[in-house]
């Protein structure tokens, strides 16, 4: 395959091929040479022209998936038929029950061995998700009476840090029992703000994703 004259198309080709390989073989078992072979002749130099490493490719793949997730979050935020608490519950459920999450967890790397991706998740959680999606919902909940807090910014951050980091099976390789204990603590924290938004279905799904991830390693 000759190098595409349009750089953005070449990047898309690389990301599409890499994503399929990560899904099929797992990130840890995919090499740059595998990506080259999948592309059918694109040179190693062409890949390194756009990406410095396999980890950078993974970061770009993840960012592209995050954009789609953010569109789903925005749609929930914009719903007029839900109060603040209901929107927050819908977001938590949507984030784990999307069918593609199974493939993502099966292919995901050990984040502790991929610091760039781990930092990216932390930055996205604190700088993007909490202030731009969760905080407006918390403020709506305060206005409509469904959420009780004098600290909306901090509540938005703690919800996302617990959900995206502390309970993330790709960061903490917890047992089912440990996940249950963390879930119960998270539930107690949320109940203090009037947020009875966690249930057994959500717990079961988190444990299921953790099992998928652990079996892939």
Count of domains observed in the chain: 2
Verify that 101 and 134 share a domain, yes or no. yes
* Cα–Cα distance, 59 to 170 (Å, whole number): 15
Say if pTM beats, i.e. exceeds, 0.85: no
Interacting residues of 16 by C-beta distance below 8 A, sequence separation 6+: none
DSSP, res 197: -
What pLDDT is recorded for position 206? 94
Interacting residues of 149 by C-beta distance below 8 A, sequence separation 6+: 138, 142, 155, 193
Q: Is residue 58 part of a domain?
A: no
Q: Is residue 204 part of a domain?
A: yes
* Segment 108-144, tens digit of pLDDT: 778 888 787 888 889 989 999 999 999 999 999 999 9
Nearest to 121 by CA among 141, 100, 104: 104
CATH code for position 190: 1.10.357.10
Verify that 194 and 92 share a domain, yes or no. yes
Verify that 119 and 202 share a domain, yes or no. yes
* Segment 149-173, tens digit of pLDDT: 999 999 999 999 999 999 998 889 8
* Cα–Cα distance, 145 to 202 (Å, whole number): 24
Answer for the pair 95, 53: CB distance below 8 angstroms, yes or no.
no
Verify that 21 and 99 share a domain, yes or no. no
* Segment 39-50, tens digit of pLDDT: 886 788 889 999
Answer for the pair 213, 170: CB distance below 8 angstroms, yes or no.
yes
Verify that 107 and 76 share a domain, yes or no. yes
Domain that holds residue 31: 1-51
CATH code for position 33: 1.10.10.60
- Count CB neighbours of 112 within 10 A: 11
C-alpha torsion 198→201→207→209, nearest 10: -110
The pair of structure tokens assigned to 7 is 């750089």
* Cα–Cα distance, 69 to 158 (Å, whole number): 20
């Amino acid at each position: 395959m000759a190098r595409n004259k349009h750089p953005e198309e070449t990047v898309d080709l690389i990301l599409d091929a890499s994503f399929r390989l990560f899904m099929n073989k797992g990130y840890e078992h995919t090499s740059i040479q595998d990506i080259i072979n999948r592309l059918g002749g694109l040179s190693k130099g062409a890949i390194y022209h756009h990406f410095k490493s396999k980890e950078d490719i993974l970061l770009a793949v993840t960012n592209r998936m995050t954009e789609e997730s953010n569109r789903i979050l925005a749609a929930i935020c914009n719903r007029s038929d839900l109060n603040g608490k209901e929107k927050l519950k819908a977001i938590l459920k949507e984030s784990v029950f999307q069918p593609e999450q199974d493939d993502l967890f099966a292919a995901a790397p050990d984040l502790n061995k991929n610091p760039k991706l781990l930092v990216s998740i932390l930055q996205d959680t604190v700088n993007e998700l909490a202030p731009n999606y969760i905080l407006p919902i918390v403020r709506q909940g305060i206005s409509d009476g469904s959420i009780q807090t004098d600290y909306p910014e901090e509540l938005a951050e703690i919800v996302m840090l617990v959900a995206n980091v502390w309970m993330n099976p790709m960061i903490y390789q917890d047992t089912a029992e440990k996940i249950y204990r963390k879930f119960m603590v998270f539930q107690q924290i949320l109940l203090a703000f009037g947020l009875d938004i966690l249930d057994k279905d959500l717990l079961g799904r988190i444990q299921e994703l953790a099992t998928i991830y652990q079996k892939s390693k």
